[in-house]
């Protein structure tokens, strides 16, 4: 890891951590009595834990964490494009916006130096 963590990487890591925390909270709500779907709740908790672990890897400069987040962002963008083809153009466009910004921030020259 070379140098100080770029602000863009910190932003993506913080947003990923918040996303993971929200996934866990949503998962817990789903498995509580009166929740919608126990299986989806458990899956949400697992995804939330993985997301938080990966976000901590971004904070530490783990290139493996950056690659995992990149794959997730690409899947999110592909899903958003699919959503646009189904007629939900604006929803798909906004859904693709944050992953696209995240990809740009994770692959700048400064980010590459930090993760190398």
Q: Give CB contacts under 8 A, 24+ apart, made by 57-65.
A: 58/9, 58/12, 58/13, 58/16, 58/106, 59/5, 59/10, 59/13, 60/1, 61/1, 61/5, 61/114, 61/115, 62/115, 63/115, 63/116
Q: What confidence score (pLDDT) does residue 83 get?
A: 84
Task: Compute the average pLDDT of residues 31-35.
Answer: 81
pLDDT band at 25 (very low <50, low <70, confident <90, very high): very high
pTM of the model: 0.78
Q: What confidence score (pLDDT) does residue 80 get?
A: 87
Q: How far apart are CA 105 and CA 99, in angstroms?
A: 10
Task: Compute the average pLDDT of residues 31-37.
Answer: 80
Average pLDDT score, the chain: 89
Render pLDDT for 61-100 as a digit per residue (tens, 0 to 9). Answer: 999 999 999 998 898 899 889 988 988 899 888 888 988 9
* Other CB atoms within 10 A of residue 56 CB: 15
pLDDT band at 1 (very low <50, low <70, confident <90, very high): very low
Task: Compute the average pLDDT of residues 50-65.
Answer: 93
Q: Where are the domains of the chain?
A: 7-115
Tokens linked to 20: 């993971």
Q: What confidence score (pLDDT) does residue 2 get?
A: 55
């Amino acid at each position: 890891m070379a140098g100080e963590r770029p602000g863009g990487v910190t932003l993506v890591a913080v947003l990923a951590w918040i996303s993971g925390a929200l996934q866990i909270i949503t998962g817990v709500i789903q498995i509580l009595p009166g929740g919608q779907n126990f299986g989806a709740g458990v899956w949400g908790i697992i995804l939330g834990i993985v997301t938080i672990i990966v976000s901590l890897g971004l904070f530490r400069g783990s290139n493996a964490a950056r690659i995992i987040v990149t794959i997730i962002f690409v899947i999110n963008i592909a899903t958003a494009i699919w959503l646009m083809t189904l007629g939900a153009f604006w929803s798909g466009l906004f859904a693709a916006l944050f992953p696209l910004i995240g990809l740009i921030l994770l692959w700048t020259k400064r980010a590459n130096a930090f993760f190398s």
